[in-house]
Amino acid sequence: MGATYHHGSLRETLLDAGVELVAEAGIDALSLRELARRAGVSSAAPYRHFPDKDALLRGVAARGYQRFDQALGKVSKQCAETSALEAVQQLGVAYVRFAARNPNLFRLIFSPIGQASGHDPELDKACRQSAEHLPRALMRLHEEGIATSISVQELTELAWALVHGVAMLYLDGLVGDGKPLSAEKAAERVTQHLVALFRAD
C-alpha cells in the first residue's frame, strides 16, 4: 500500500527527496516519476503540486537557496563583532565551501532555471535573501572608512565575481585537487588578496 500524506506534507516530502536526488545524481536525474517512487505514492500524485519538471526544479532550487542562505547567514552572525574585512573574507570562504560540499545543488541554484524570477515566489525570496549577506558585509567597509571610493554595488560585483569564479573553477576541476578543503584554501588565498586591495584603497 502506498504512503498517505496530507496535502502540504507530500509537497515537502517530494522537495526533500528532490534535494537528495540532485545531491546524489545531479540535475538530470531529477524526475517526478522517481520522486513518486521514493515517496511511495502514485506516479500521478506529484503533479498535484508540480505541473511539470521545471516547477519541480524551481521548488528544489528554492530549497537549495535556503540552505545556501543558512550557510552564509551562520557566518554573518559569527562575524557580527569582527572587522568588516574579516567578515568579507569569511563569507567568501563560506560561499566556496558551500559550492564544494554541495556541487550539484550549487549548479542548480545558479542555472537558468534557478535564476529565473517571477515564476515562484518562494524561489524569488530565497534567492534574494541569500544574496543579501555579501553586500551587507561590504557596506560595513564603508562604515569603517574602507574602500569608500568604490560603490557598494561595484564592491559586490568584484567580490562576487572572485568567489563565484573560484567556486566554478573548482567544480569544473580547474583548481584544487577535487577535495572541498582545497577549494576553501583557494578561496582563502583569493579573499586575502581581495581584502588587501580594499585595505589599500
The per-residue pLDDT for 179 is 76
Q: Which residue has the higher pLDDT, 1 or 83?
A: 83
Residue 120 neighbours by CB distance under 10 Å: 19
Query: What does CATH list as the number for 64-200?
Result: 1.10.357.10
Pick the CATH number of 1-51 from 3.30.1360.70, 3.30.390.10, 3.40.50.970, 1.10.10.60: 1.10.10.60
**66 contacts 126 by C-beta, under 8 angstroms:** yes
pLDDT at residue 7 greater than cutoff 50: no
The per-residue pLDDT for 88 is 96
The per-residue pLDDT for 140 is 95
Residue 67: its H or E element: helix 53-78
**pLDDT tens-digit profile of 85-94?**
999 999 999 9
Query: How far is Cα 184 from Cα 168, in angstroms, rounded to an integer?
Result: 13
pLDDT at residue 177 greater than cutoff 80: no
**pLDDT tens-digit profile of 102-122?**
999 999 999 999 998 888 899
Global pTM value: 0.90
Query: How far is Cα 159 from Cα 142, in angstroms, rounded to an integer?
Result: 15
- Domain boundaries defined on the chain: 1-51, 64-200
AA identity, residue 117: S
pLDDT at residue 4 greater than cutoff 60: no
**25 contacts 61 by C-beta, under 8 angstroms:** no
**pLDDT tens-digit profile of 19-75?**
999 999 999 999 999 999 988 899 999 999 999 999 999 999 999 999 999 999 999
- CB burial of residue 152 (10 Å; 0-12, 13-18, 19+): middle
